[in-house]
Amino acid sequence: MFGPFKTLVLAAAIFIPFERLAAADRTQRILRRGWATDLCTGLINGLLLSGAVLMSLGIVETTANAVMPNARGWVASNPFWVQAVVAVIIGDLGIYLMHRLAHTLPWLWRVHAVHHSAEELDWLIAFRFHPLDQLLMRVASLAPLVALNISPTAITVFVVVFAWQSWLVHANVRISYGPLRWAIVSPEFHHLHHSAERESFNQNYASIFAVWDLLFGTGHLLPARYPLRYGTTEPVAAGYVARFYQPFRRIRLAELPLCPRSGSPSAEARLGGAVEH
């Protein structure tokens, strides 16, 4: 129970001062609008998804063990460092493919739009996901690793690297990666993915390795600037419960106070406490 809490406290101790020292937007407050909703979303999603993810991966492992036992044995015989490197590479490719699919299929975009509704970015935006979106991302990245019989410790390396990277690329920081910006995803690279400017739409899907976007022709960097604005072209509900139901319903949804409200005043004014679909 205390593991995730200690991880969150450590992340806050690192990223809050980091965002003050190297802020991309120096006018943005430490406790920007909607931070509590995003934190609440991360905690609730963690509780909701743990069982579903383990069940899904159990089915994957059973099936893979029956279909390719020899391949799984060979993978397991490799040194830990080899398995860890493979886990990070394959896991990140799984995230890239699912992320791109979420921007391609309309029904997947409806759940992924929750993540893109942020009008200000900081490290806590890494928690702003619809639970179905997060479930699909986790299975897409972890299922291949489980199927290949990558060791749990090596998979943990991927999970830790991905978590750190998720916080970093969403953080309100401006740092230069120089020529490495086309190899490793930087905050600049990912902030453009969240841009509300049309020329940046549907690009920069990678999470760790920017080379996926280069290989598949979806990489984009505007010359030496961060986006002028963030968000989606359609309004997204402010509360956790309304966001949960929004992708599936076309009726007026009342805002429920399970989590604090989030979003800019302008967004909430448009919503008026509810969402019309």
**pLDDT digit string (tens) for 56-90?**
999 999 999 999 999 999 999 999 999 999 999 99
Average pLDDT in the chain:
86
* Predicted structure pTM score: 0.85
pLDDT at residue 260 in the model = 45
To which H or E segment does residue 60 belong?
A: helix 35-67
pLDDT, position 266: 38
Q: Which secondary-structure segment (H or E) carries 133?
A: helix 131-147
Which one, of 114, 246, 122, lies nearest residue 174 by Cα?
122
Does the pLDDT at position 225 exceed 80? Answer: no
Max mean pLDDT range (194-203, 251-260, 261-270): 194-203
Q: Does 219 or 140 have the greater pLDDT score?
A: 140
* pLDDT value, residue 265: 39
Lowest mean pLDDT among 119-123, 193-197, 205-209, 270-274: 270-274
For 40-57, write each residue's pLDDT tens digit.
999 899 888 989 999 999
How does residue 201 score in pLDDT terms, banded at 50, 70 and 90? confident
To 10 degrees, what angle do helices 35-67 and 69-76 make?
120
Task: Taking residues 162-176, report their average pLDDT.
Answer: 95
Spell out the domain ranges in the chain: 31-275
pLDDT at 10 over 70: yes
Do 35 and 124 meet the contact criterion of CB atoms below 8 Å apart?
A: yes
Instruction: Look at residue 242 and tell me whether its pLDDT is greater than 50.
Output: yes
Confidence of residue 224 (pLDDT cuts 50, 70, 90): low
Specify whether the CB–CB gap between 238 and 271 falls below 8 A: yes
Integer Cα distance of 241 and 190 in angstroms = 27
Give the pLDDT confidence score for residue 6 in this predicted structure.
80
Residue 2 has pLDDT above 60, yes or no: no
